[in-house]
Structure 1
Amino acid sequence: MENQYPHELSGGMRQRVSFLRAVVGGSDILMLDEPFSALDSITRFAGQMAGQTLVFITHDIEEALFLSDHILLFTQPPIEGRFTEITVPLSRPRKENDRDHPELVKLKRELINRMRREGGII
Structure 2
Amino acid sequence: MAAKLKMLGTVIRTMDTRPIKVAPKTAEPFYLSPEWRKLMAEIIAERGRRCEDPTCDGKTHRLGMRVFGDHLVELRDGGAPLDKRNIMLRCGASHTKKTLAERAKRMAARP
TM-score where L is the length of structure 1: 0.27
More strand by share: 1
